[in-house]
Chain A
Amino acid sequence: MLSSLIVTLVLAGCSDAEKPPEPPKEEPQVEVAPKLDAAALAAAAENIALVPSPAEMQRALEKNGIQAGLSAMVPERKLKMDIENKDVIAVRTGVVLADALLTVKDAPKEKLVERLAAVKAGVAALGAGGDIGAVIDDLTARITNDSVSRDDLVKELDEMHGAIIPELKYEAGERCVPLIQAGSWLAGSNLVAAALSTANNTSAATELLRQPQVADYFLKYVATEGEGKAPDEVIKQLDGTLKKLKEIASKPTLTIDDVNEVKAQTDAVLGLL
Chain B
Amino acid sequence: MLSSLVLALSTAALADEKAADDCLKTKIWEGYNTGWAVRTATSATLGKGEHRIYLVTLYAGNEYKIMACADTDVANVDLVLYDSLGNEVMRDANQDREPSLSYKANATDTFYIAVHATALNGSAASGGVATAVTYK
Using a CB–CB cutoff of 8 Å, the interface residues on chain A facing chain B are: 28-39, 41-42, 44-53, 55-57, 59-60, 63-64, 151, 154-155, 158-159, 162-163, 166, 206-208, 210-211, 213-214
Contacts and interface: CB of A to CB of B under 8 A. Distances in A.
B41 A63 contact: no
8 contacts: A33-B91, A36-B112, A37-B86, A39-B86, A49-B54, A59-B135, A206-B108, A207-B61
B114 A213 contact: no
Given A46-B54, A51-B57, 12 more contacts: A29-B119, A30-B95, A38-B82, A49-B55, A56-B39, A60-B108, A63-B61, A151-B32, A158-B38, A163-B38, A163-B40, A166-B40
Contacts of A166: 40, 42
Contact of A33 (B38, B78, B84, B135): B78
A39 B82 CA distance: 12
Nearest to A167: B42
A52 B29 CA distance: 19
Interface string B41-84: 11000000101111111011110000000000000101010101
Which secondary structure dominates chain B's binding surface?
strand
A207 B40 contact: no
B112 A41 contact: yes
A207 B53 CA distance: 24
A44 B118 contact: no
A31 B48 CA distance: 10
B42 A33 contact: no
Residue among B39, B60, B86, B132 with the highest chain A CB neighbour number at 10 A:
B39
Given A33-B78, A50-B110, A60-B59, A162 B38 contact: yes
Interface of B: 28-29, 32, 37-42, 49, 51-57, 59-62, 76, 78, 80, 82, 84-86, 88, 91, 95, 107-108, 110, 112-114, 116, 118-119, 132-133, 135-136
Contacts of A63: 59-62
Contacts, number: 133
Given A36-B86, A48-B54, A59-B135, A162 B40 contact: yes
Nearest to B54: A49
B108 A210 contact: yes
A213 B86 CA distance: 15
Given A30-B95, A162-B41, A214 B57 contact: yes
A155 B30 CA distance: 11
A180 B28 CA distance: 23
A163 B42 contact: yes
B57 A211 contact: yes
A53 B39 contact: yes
Contact of B107 (A29, A49, A155, A207): A207
Contacts of B95: 28, 30-31
